[in-house]
């Protein structure tokens, strides 16, 4: 071999396939992250699917995927099975109603309290829209919808209502975030809940056509005060979540989970998400975590645990 061919070895280019499944809440953000990461590492491919946080966790622990998207807290039992989690961003679950609901005008004025949502979703003591809004002449039945798949959104919504579990939520079960939004969109008397990025249109920044957000009456004074009124656009609700005007729950951290500490291209990808990847979060309708939580995640990736 001619001596002129001797060169310093190039840095090895990352390649391989990263398999990811899980929370609908994280799916839109993950698509953006994967596309941006591939501009840096074109030999890395992604196989991404949404099927709920429960599926993401099960797939990860079962070795079917490399990374799970989990939009709820990780349980001690899951950690014992090897779940290694890192918070990477934040969003929220918001209550939804059909935009043609006869009670919509009053709902926008008065909102609903946590206790009223509990009576709709848990105890079943509020059964009509008139009971919910105080309009005694309105006997329209509330058609309650919930998620049928094990997911972070119902778990978070149930926790907001009083530390309940998904199984305790009443309603007709519908699979997936898009399915739940569509069920409410097709039923003028329906009520549901969605992750922010399935309740709002990313392009128009307005609620998805056919859906409106029910404001939370946080101070329980029977009306939506100006400081509680932040549902008109995606940017307004994101700002409210970021500055804690919107409570947690139903706001929550979104986590990536691996079985054991991430290594190889998975480790590099997660570290990129926690650093350069953070700049894509605000425009995508998500919330950047506090820097101390980001640093904590970077330390977890770098640790030898």
First to last CA, the chain: 45
**Cα–Cα distance measured from residue 201 to residue 30, given in angstroms and rounded to the nearest whole number:** 17
pLDDT tens readout for residues 230-286 = 999 999 999 999 999 999 999 999 999 999 999 999 999 999 999 999 999 999 999
**Cα–Cα distance measured from residue 198 to residue 207, given in angstroms and rounded to the nearest whole number:** 9
**Cα–Cα distance measured from residue 247 to residue 241, given in angstroms and rounded to the nearest whole number:** 7
> For residue 116, which of 97, 102, 100, 92 has the smallest C-alpha distance?
97
**Cα–Cα distance measured from residue 5 to residue 83, given in angstroms and rounded to the nearest whole number:** 47
Where do the domains of the chain lie, and which CATH numbers do they carry? 14-91+251-302 (3.40.190.10), 93-242 (3.40.190.10)
3-class DSSP state of 16: strand
pTM exceeds cut of 0.85: yes
Run of H or E residues at 142: none
**Cα–Cα distance measured from residue 86 to residue 63, given in angstroms and rounded to the nearest whole number:** 18
* Paired tokens of 298: 């970077």
Alpha-helical regions (H) of the chain: 27-40, 53-61, 76-80, 104-110, 114-118, 129-133, 152-162, 177-185, 196-199, 234-242, 264-274, 291-302
Contact 240, 90 (CB under 8 A): no
Look at the alpha carbons of 261, 264, 269, 272 in this order and tell me if their dihedral is positive or negative: positive
Contact 189, 99 (CB under 8 A): no
pLDDT of 9 > 70? The answer is no
* Parallel/antiparallel/unpaired status of strands 190-195 and 83-98: antiparallel
pLDDT tens readout for residues 174-215 = 999 999 999 999 999 999 999 999 999 999 999 999 999 999
Rg of the chain (C-alpha set): 21
pLDDT of 25 > 60? The answer is yes
Sequence-separated (6 or more) residues with CB below 8 Å from residue 135: 103, 106, 129
pLDDT of 6 > 80? The answer is no
Q: How far is CA 111 from each of CA 38, 87, 230, 237, rounded to the nearest angstrom? A: 44, 31, 12, 15
pLDDT tens readout for residues 70-82 = 999 999 999 999 9
3-class DSSP state of 207: strand
């Amino acid at each position: 071999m001619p001596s002129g061919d001797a060169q310093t070895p190039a840095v090895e280019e990352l390649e391989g396939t990263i398999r990811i499944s899980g929370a609908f809440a994280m799916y839109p953000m993950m698509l953006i992250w994967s596309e941006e990461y591939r501009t840096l590492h074109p030999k890395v491919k992604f196989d991404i699917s949404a099927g709920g946080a429960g599926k993401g966790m099960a797939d990860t622990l079962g070795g079917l995927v490399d990374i799970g998207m989990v939009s709820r807290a990780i349980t001690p039992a899951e950690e014992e099975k090897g779940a290694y989690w890192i918070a990477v961003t934040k969003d929220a679950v918001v209550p939804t109603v059909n935009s043609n609901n006869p009670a919509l005008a009053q709902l926008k004025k008065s909102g609903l309290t946590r206790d009223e949502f509990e009576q709709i979703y848990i105890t079943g003591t509020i059964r009509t829209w008139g009971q919910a809004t105080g309009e005694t002449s309105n006997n329209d039945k509330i058609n309650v919808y919930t998620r049928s798949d094990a997911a972070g959104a119902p778990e978070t919504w149930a926790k907001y209502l009083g530390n309940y579990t998904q199984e305790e939520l009443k309603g007709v079960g519908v699979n997936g975030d898009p399915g739940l939004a569509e069920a409410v969109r097709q039923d003028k008397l329906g009520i549901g809940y969605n992750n922010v990025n399935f309740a709002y249109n990313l392009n128009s920044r307005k609620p998805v056509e056919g859906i409106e957000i029910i404001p939370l009456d946080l101070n329980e004074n029977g009306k939506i005060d100006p400081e509680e009124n932040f549902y008109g656009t995606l940017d307004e609700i994101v700002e409210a979540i970021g500055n804690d005007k919107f409570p947690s729950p139903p706001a929550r951290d979104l986590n990536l989970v691996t079985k054991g500490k991430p290594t190889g291209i998975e480790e590099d990808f997660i570290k990129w998400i926690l650093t350069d990847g953070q700049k894509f979060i605000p425009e995508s309708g998500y919330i950047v975590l506090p820097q101390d939580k980001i640093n904590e995640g970077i330390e977890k990736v770098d640790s030898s645990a």
